[in-house]
Amino acid sequence: MYTQLQLRDSARPPVTVASLGRMKEQGEKISCITCYDASYAALVDAADLDVVLVGDSLGMVIQGYDTTVPVTLNDVIYHCRAVAKGLVRPFLMADMPFMTYTSKDEALKNAVRLMQEGGAKMVKLEGGAGQAEIVEFLASHDIAVCAHLGLRPQSVHKTGGFRVQGREEAAAEQMRRDAKLLQDSGADVVLLECIPSHLGKEITAELHVPVIGIGAGPDTDGQILVLYDVLDITPGRKPRFVQNFQQGRDSPLAAIRAYGEAVKSRAYPAPEHCF
């Protein structure tokens, strides 16, 4: 009871939207990772990472689908509830799955379920300017929102696959405008996936909210990776931005900790992980 209040003055106060904002201001990199169950969540907590995402990547790494499209709201709630049980300090964010935010009312109803049933503190949704009204509506109900730009896995059947986004100047300019609009609409965090490093740097400098990157270069305010990529569990060819942190380490905890430290010290991402 009153856990958040009791831990506020402890040596490990829980991460909040406000503390993420302070990390950006102070130039401290934000370490983020995906997670899907309570056991790994306890390891991520012990490794002291800042943010945990129950990503719809669970459709690929847990359920074995080719894309995130088949993932349902109930799937994310199920995994989020488990992850929430393993966490004390990290900030818990959950993905809104494909087609769960097509109208303001649907988005609000489903975000509330992620928070009340899953224990999420922030919801993440994919999309550019077209989602500004939804973000504004959620923000007006005091729901913390992360806006996901760049490569948007829920749209791969429309956009033509898992490819780097924003290489052409027109697309880069559109992304810069979308990021600003989503921030101004109330997004508390922006996540950029698979874009050229220079664009990641420009958007991060332009925004006052924290920007988390995955394959978006070294200059975003924080980095996120899929847990199973960090642990080298995912079979087959990996995206360029993935680093195997399990290599040379004798436990998953050591690997997750090494990843968090590499983000904080700016050792990750290295030039070979960038576009």
Residues touching ligand KIV: how many (CB under 6 A)? Answer: 11
For residue 29, the Cα-to-chain-centroid distance in whole angstroms is 14
Task: Name which of 53 and 114 has its Cβ closer to ligand KIV.
Answer: 53
Could you say which residues in the range 216-275 bind ligand KIV, by CB under 6 A?
224, 226
Q: Contact letters (x/-) for ligand KIV, 115-154, by CB under 6 A?
A: ----------------------------------------
Half-sphere exposure of 79 toward its Cβ, with a 13 Å CA cutoff?
28
Task: Name which of 235 and 248 has its Cβ closer to ligand KIV.
Answer: 235
Which amino acid is located at 190 in the chain? V
Q: Which residues are marked as active site?
A: 193
Task: Name which of 226 and 258 has its Cβ closer to ligand KIV.
Answer: 226
* Nearest alpha carbon to residue 194 among 221, 233, 225: 225
Could you say which residues in the range 34-93 bind ligand KIV, by CB under 6 A?
34, 53, 55-57
Q: How far is the CB of 60 from ligand KIV (least distance, A)?
A: 8
Task: Name which of 146 and 207 has its Cβ closer to ligand KIV.
Answer: 146
For residue 34, the Cα-to-chain-centroid distance in whole angstroms is 7
Could you say which residues in the range 192-211 bind ligand KIV, by CB under 6 A?
193
Which amino acid is located at 198 in the chain? H
By the rule CB under 6 A, 178 interacts with ligand KIV = no
Cβ burial 189-220 (10 Å sphere, 16+ → b, else e): bbbbbbbbbebbbbbbeebebbbbbbbbbbbb
Residues 6 or more apart whose Cβ sits within 8 Å of residue 195: 150, 151, 164, 165, 166, 172, 175, 215, 216, 217, 275
Query: Which residues of this chain interact with ligand KIV, rule CB under 6 A?
Result: 34, 53, 55-57, 95, 191, 193, 214, 224, 226
